[in-house]
Structure 1
Amino acid sequence: MKLVDRQVTRELTGPFLFGVAAFSSVIFAITVMIKLTQWLSHGMPVLMAIEGVILSVPGIMYYTLPMSTLLAVLMGIGRLSGESEIVALFAGGVSLYRIALPILGLGLVVSGFSLVLDEIVTPRANVRISELEKTALKQTPVSEKPFTVEDPGTSSVINVRGGMDMDNAILRDVTITQYVKNQPVLFVYAARAQWAGINNPALKYRWKLYDGRAYAVDLKDPRSIAITTFTKGQSREVMIQKTRDDLALYRNLKAELMTFSQLSKMVGILKEHPDRDISQIRDLEVWKWNKLSVPLSCLVFALLAAPLGIRPHRSSSSVGLGLSILVILIFYVAGRYTWNLALNGTLMPATAAFIPDALGVITAGVLLKRAAK
């Protein structure tokens, strides 16, 4: 490593560590401390709550790394500039592009670390936190939450109020409404529904209903209703063109619990089901691409901060912190705006996720070119 690389790296290290600690502390106080208070007030054991707090750290660090990189470069280059060391380097024939190389290296290293953190550590930590909340706070598991499914194949709407037992392929508290020419013709209620395909793949679209009743409406005479009851071991078999795995997709999906590959697979499966809410699919897609764009923003912020950090002789170091907050705010607003554009279909999810990074790279290029003159 050459002298200029060591000098720049040394100036960046301290502010970077300070940024990680400072930004993490702010986010920790805003989010985790509030959650910790809720956990303890609802009776979560102290040791379990401490485990939850520790497991929250990777997720916090993931979002503070880009901000810390920005602050480190602004303050590091700002100090070199304020004490005329940048001028001395220029006088010695070292160009701004050469000075930017160790900054680029920092951005690449932090981006790589951020990607690994979000792909390997954070999802597992979030899953464990979810398990702790279910165990200690008696929260309703995802499998027990209600959901509604449209089945275009049979012109039916299935409302599962009691949730789903995935392992045993059982739906609880089920109501099925079947339509003909947009008119309801059949209402079926069952305390539980068992997937027939669990033992026989040939019956993958057949479901057995237990302990319920059916109301069949005659379209020619709507006042004529035939009522059928099936109880005490009796069952009624119906066709629902959804398998157990298909219905499992209609439960709550949390992107923060999944990796990039898991999200990619989930989005692909959901797109095969035309009755799914398209905005939910787009939201998951933006989440997926953000798992790449957020780590990349560490590199973008490093490049953007290099020319912004050059300031007049002996100017205050608080300028770096102020610029950091301003750039972060602009990036956040741009990110939320493009996210909303993706949700309503104006932009492709991948485009929406990377637009802030692309704007940052373009701005960094222009500023570097001007500062190097």
Structure 2
Amino acid sequence: MKIIDRYLLTELLSPLLFGIFAFTSIFVGTDILFELADLMIEWGVSAVTAGQLFILSLPEVIVLTFPMSMLLATLLSFGRLSGDSEVVALKAGGVSFIRLIIPVLIVALLLSGLTILANETIVPQSKDAYRRIVWNIKHQEKMPTTQKNLRIAPLDKKTGKIDYIFYAYHFDGSDLTMEEVSLQDYQNGKLVQVIEAKRARWTDERWQFIDGTIYNVNSKDKVPTMEFETYTVKKLNREPKEISRAQKDPDEMSIEELNRHINLKEEEGKDVASLKVLYYQRYAIPFSCFIFALIGAPLGLQPNRSGASIGLGLSIVIIFIYYTLMTIGSTLGQTGTLPPAVGAWLQNIIFGLVGTGLIIKMSR
């Protein structure tokens, strides 16, 4: 690593850490502390439990501040270099503006990758643990893993008609069993077979029906054709975690879980535009670290941008515009006006073009 790169990264580090601390403090003070205070007042939560909930809520907040902090750090660091005429000296020494921002853009890309990694590992686990503790506080019991009157009805991808209808009176996610189950099998939209059983259990990655009867269906009635003690139903390909009521909310799922959830909803013929927008945002929002660095560097070099207060104010304005565009893009993607991927990435596309244009202008 060259001396100039180390120097630039050193300049970037302090405002980046300051931004993470400052924006985290804002979110904590305006949201988390009020929620914890409400739990302590209404539900008598102890200070120890409140502290545990506070720690569990931090990963999501800290990761959320990474893009904002990257923008602030870029504006402040390049603003200081410009204000002290160091950029002029570097240019006089043959260092182009493009060469100047390369190490910053690399850091921004690495921070984007770190954000995605944290959202896939630490954040979902902490959110799930937080949700379970709050459920325990409000209901004085562990979060249930049972569900009654479970129904699954996917469509056949080839014909677009109903593929099968599965019903279970009771599902227990803790021991992976179901009671009073039935599966109606359809071909080209017509009912051809019914399988009924007293119980079902998850065995060897398959659902196995226990103590039941298979009926073939003709034009007039269903005719019993076979009774069984155990029967493996290959058509029911849903894993227990995919059908449990304890299943995470979409915003708590990892990218892989969300993708599988979208596929299952599509099989049932449901509108998944909003879920797809959420899926693509899992990449678009972390990538904003790079986008903000792309637009923050040339803006930081503009005249009268060297003050820290001006840099902070400009950061807030840019962040407001960014999230306004993100809301508009999400809405257009969810309503089908734009493809979900374009809706999720709309703000990055616009800011990326603006940032690229500013860099080209500064490089002349």
TM-score (norm 1): 0.73
1:96 aligns with 2:89: no
1:84 aligns with 2:85: yes
Partner of 2:352: 361
Conservation of the 8 A alpha-carbon contact between 2:71 and 2:292: yes
The alpha carbon displacement at 1:332 in A equals 0.3
Which structure 2 residues correspond to residues 32-71 of structure 1 after superposition, within 5 A?
32-41=32-41, 42-71=43-72
Which of 239, 249, 254 is the equivalent residue of 2:249? 254
Partner of 1:272: 267
Change (3 A) 1:311 1:141: same
Letter in 2 for 1:369: I
Query: C-alpha distance in 1, partners of 2:32/2:126?
Result: 14
Q: Secondary structure at the match of 2:6?
A: helix
Change (3 A) 1:64 1:94: same
Question: How many residue pairs are counted as aligned between the two chains?
Answer: 316
Partner of 1:9: 9
Partner of 2:319: 328
Which structure 2 residues correspond to residues 110-129 of structure 1 after superposition, within 5 A?
110-129=111-130
Change (3 A) 1:343 1:3: same
Query: C-alpha distance in 2, partners of 1:4/1:114?
Result: 26
Change (3 A) 1:144 1:307: same
Query: C-alpha distance in 1, partners of 2:108/2:166?
Result: 51
The alpha carbon displacement at 1:271 in A equals 1.1
Conservation of the 8 A alpha-carbon contact between 1:83 and 1:314: no
The alpha carbon displacement at 1:245 in A equals 5.3
Change (3 A) 1:118 1:68: same
Which structure 2 residues correspond to residues 148-187 of structure 1 after superposition, within 5 A?
164-166=171-173, 167=175, 169-170=177-178
Question: Which stretch shows the higher mean deviation, 133-142 or 258-267?
Answer: 133-142
Change (3 A) 1:120 1:92: same
For the aligned residues, what is the CA RMSD? 3.4
TM-score (norm 2): 0.75
Q: Secondary structure at the match of 2:338?
A: coil
Superimposed CA distance per residue, residues 284-314 of structure 1 (whole angstroms, 9 cap, x where no aligned partner): 2222222211111101111111101012268
Query: C-alpha distance in 2, partners of 1:131/1:202?
Result: 28
Letter in 2 for 1:95: S
Letter in 2 for 1:259: S
Partner of 1:132: 133
Q: Secondary structure at the match of 2:115?
A: helix
Segments of 5+ residues of structure 2 without an aligned counterpart are 155-161, 181-196, 214-234
Query: C-alpha distance in 2, partners of 1:255/1:314?
Result: 41
Superimposed CA distance per residue, residues 134-176 of structure 1 (whole angstroms, 9 cap, x where no aligned partner): 223227846467888585959999898xx8533464579xxxx
Change (3 A) 1:169 1:65: same
Superimposed CA distance per residue, residues 27-49 of structure 1 (whole angstroms, 9 cap, x where no aligned partner): 11122112211222212332222
Letter in 1 for 2:172: D
Conservation of the 8 A alpha-carbon contact between 1:169 and 1:194: no
Query: C-alpha distance in 1, partners of 2:36/2:258?
Result: 28
1:301 aligns with 2:292: yes
Q: Percent identity?
A: 30
Change (3 A) 1:206 1:357: farther
Change (3 A) 1:259 1:102: same
Segments of 5+ residues of structure 1 without an aligned counterpart are 173-192, 209-240
Query: C-alpha distance in 2, partners of 1:101/1:198?
Result: 53
Q: Secondary structure at the match of 2:132?
A: helix
